[in-house]
Amino acid sequence: MAVDWISDELAGPVKVPPGSAMRVTFLKLKENSGEGEKGEILRVTRGIKEKFPSIDQLSVGENLSPARAKGFSIGSVAVFGGVKDLEALESESAAAAAKEEKDKVREFLDGVLVVDNAVPAYL
């Protein structure tokens, strides 16, 4: 599976700093979703950086290689200062805020794949 997108909103270094943590999310829209639904998902996903200040960088985009994506058409990468910042998303208040954001687009999604990754501190 591959999901590729061009990011026009990425601020900060392109290289992820040592000791960081990342959450990569792939979204698969329901078959009957149109441009309006896709636009709403992109808007909500781009807005999560404002809702979660522990996110240092966020890149969101529509897939450029749909033939290799197994139906996943939107991707995002959130970069955190470290694993503790990523784990903080599991706190009760952060989990409630995340659920609120997910509820805005849940009806348009057929699948979500999330991968968390810790970047070694010794790079």
Residue 3 lies in a domain: no
Give the per-residue pLDDT at 74. 92
Structural domain includes residue 123: no
Asked, for residue 83, whether it belongs to a domain, the answer is yes
Low-confidence ranges of the chain (pLDDT < 50): none
Q: Is residue 122 part of a domain?
A: no
- 79 in any annotated domain: yes
pLDDT value of position 80: 94
Query: What was the pLDDT predicted at 123?
Result: 58
Q: What was the pLDDT predicted at 63? A: 87
Whether 9 maps to a domain, the answer reads no
Q: Does residue 6 form part of some domain?
A: no
pLDDT at 77: 92
| Residue located via tokens 């270094």 | 13
Is 29 a member of any domain? yes
What's the domain count of the chain? Answer: 1
CATH code of the domain containing 54: 3.30.70.100
H/E segment holding residue 41: helix 35-46
Domain interval for residue 47: 20-117
